[in-house]
Structure 1
């Protein structure tokens, strides 16, 4: 079973696999991020300009019950080499998630490609870890994690979403990977989530390469301040090495 079923061109029904971690009666935001990424890519495909997504920024405006949602896409800035588009997820006409994507015309920079970001251990060198030992919800049960924990709030891990984004509909490797962009906040916690709440308000992704393969790698550091704020900083990896970054701002609530 997929995370969502399409009801019409812009409306989708979440399945049980989207059940949340903080509240099992609400949708986990991670699968919705994957679905919205898919819809942003569909909008790009319609214009057939060949642009690629360089940045995705998601602002979480509210919670989503396990009920149908709708998605609206609009262009904020058109151009010959860059464009900015926006997608919004609605529940009963209430906006709950909004994303902005910078689209960039690709150029051949093969002879310039490289990064100083360090790789993480390969998949077969990491033991299986069950995030359901900490988190509730059916979404958490739908992902597979292999992790090396260095200390609370610091870990390297590989993740795979075992369910497709949409039932009977092909999505890109980016959209499937996007179902995992929100998970760093829960994969190496600094505090017991049964005692301290630390939900994230956003997910901001920068990519210099598109993900490939089923598994997505993460190198995550979690920081808590003394003022109720926190930040997750993650380097993203695929099987070939680092591909980008994810950051999340946290509100810490004892």
Structure 2
């Protein structure tokens, strides 16, 4: 298959093997799911005077490798702000819900912070191969990862470059935002201080804040994970493109011994 999802018409999609995540052979990674929900929200209302500024996905349960349905709605529609919603369902069961704010595009360059750069480029970072079971999934194989060998999962921090190698929906080119959303759900994976073969650390949400729109197909991710003593953790990240910083991410993680 040449994409994460095959369109079936009427907001229905069939996931391919590229969506399979590292936690289970019969469940999807939520990177493609997040991008699919954001795509649906953007198509629901294609106002060109607005830009995505915050996207939050609440994960209700595993996303099975079966046909999916997406429903979208406008929750608030104003002149300068808009709140969109999208819901992913499978066999009548809610899988995930997206809430996305869009802000009016205007010229605020006079007060914009200088663009900070990540200090490396994809070209000067070696190809990274995920260890253990994390390196054996359709999703991991569908993304080109670049990072120094000790730059991922080192003492609860991690930094890498990533880009999907297949489109989100068959027959459509990936947008820059879809590229970013497909990979930033992996912030917890690149920053985890524990081995995924020994521990579960699955996120129940993902929030992405954007202070500018991403450019290009390469996405830089720098993450930091903090694990608590009672079964929960937080992974926070900064994301870049080649030009500079784009925004921030946050995930709440459910931690369990495997």
Q: Provide the secondary structure at the position in 2 that maps to 1:217.
A: strand
Taking structure 1 as the reference length, what is the TM-score of the superposition? 0.94
**2:109 matched residue in structure 1:** 110
Once the two structures are superposed, the pairs formed by residues 90-239 of structure 1 within 5 Å of their partners are 90-115=89-114, 119-131=118-130, 133-135=132-134, 136-148=136-148, 149-150=150-151, 151-239=154-242
> Contact 1:44 / 1:51 at 8 angstroms: preserved in 2?
no
Report whether the alignment pairs 1:60 with 2:63.
Answer: no
> Separation in 2 of the partners of 1:197 and 1:236?
24
Q: Provide the secondary structure at the position in 2 that maps to 1:160.
A: strand
Change (3 A) 1:132 1:214: farther
Change (3 A) 1:38 1:224: same
Q: Provide the secondary structure at the position in 2 that maps to 1:88.
A: strand
- Deviations along 1:105-162, one digit per CA (max 9) or x if unpaired, are 1110122221586634222232211125440321111111111335232121100111
**1:24 matched residue in structure 2:** 25
Displacement of 1:204 in angstroms is: 0.3
Q: Provide the secondary structure at the position in 2 that maps to 1:36.
A: helix
Report whether the alignment pairs 1:241 with 2:244.
Answer: yes
> Separation in 2 of the partners of 1:214 and 1:49?
21
Displacement of 1:164 in angstroms is: 0.5
4+ runs of 1 displaced by more than 3 Å? 115-118
Cα RMSD over matched residues?
1.6
Count of matched residue pairs = 252
> Separation in 2 of the partners of 1:43 and 1:181?
23
Displacement of 1:189 in angstroms is: 2.5
> Separation in 2 of the partners of 1:33 and 1:207?
15
| Structure 1: stretches of 5+ with no match in the other structure | none
> Contact 1:38 / 1:171 at 8 angstroms: preserved in 2?
no
Displacement of 1:26 in angstroms is: 1.2
**2:12 matched residue in structure 1:** 11
> Contact 1:131 / 1:187 at 8 angstroms: preserved in 2?
no
| Structure 2: stretches of 5+ with no match in the other structure | none
Displacement of 1:170 in angstroms is: 3.4
